Amino acid sequence: MKKYDLSKVQLLAVESLRALRKFMSGKEVLKLLEEGGLRITAVDLSRYVTGAVLPRPSRALEILKLLADSNVLGEVLERALVVDERGVVNVARIAYDINILRLAAARAYVEFSQLNVDKVLTAAVNGIPLAVAVANVLGVELCVARQEADASASSYVEVKYFAPDPPRYAHLYLPSFMLREGDSVLIVDDLLQSGRTLRALSEIAAVKGAEVIAVFSLIAVGDRWKYSIPNTASKIVVGKHVQH
């Protein structure tokens, strides 16, 4: 790895531990690491979290992989998630939480950094913070499809899909310049439920001749969204599954 990449891994590990401490006690974090086969002293954990010391690159990578393998993101989402009696997820509670976004970015680095992603594609608005964090950590371009076209681009890719509540046709618009033929695309969204947005984003990629190779989401509710996964996607990562 290049020196820049080594430094990125070190900082990601520190930011992940710091974010994790917002949801867990120091003892819980140490126990989690030990159960994953990584022994870190309370003193070292404190030094990492405060930024006084950076873990060596190999140790930092071990931390990141352990947090991904044990789905710490899912555990944190379990603690932060609110689902009411109607099955409605309080998306704002998680989609704009900077500590959850840091943990999600670290998870995305472990899961997708070897997939040669060219673009991160999402839909406005709640998916944008997560998509920005993921695109940044992977070092790739960000593409955001909006529900309206404005004058900022000369041409758009437009897809239409049916939204039942209230019954209507909704539209997504992506500036044509954002995707190119042959791009490898990672679709990122805060919530997967009906699969309509996932299907629409996949259609946008197909229109431009790009290929969706992976999907990443914080929350997935039920199983309907699975039918919208494009056949080209080789990896699907969800932080927390909710059956309702």
Q: Where are the domains of the chain?
A: 3-68, 93-242
Element (H, E) at 170: strand 167-175
Q: What type of residue sits at position 74?
A: G
Q: Does domain 93-242 have CATH number 3.40.50.2020?
A: yes
Q: Interior CA angle at 182 toward 180 and 187, to 5°?
A: 75
Ranges of residues in the chain whose predicted pLDDT is under 70? 87, 244
Which pLDDT score, from 0 to 100, does residue 66 have?
98
Which pLDDT score, from 0 to 100, does residue 62 have?
97
98 φ/ψ sector (left φ>0, alpha ψ -120 to 50, else beta) = alpha
In this prediction the pTM is: 0.95
Which pLDDT score, from 0 to 100, does residue 91 have?
87
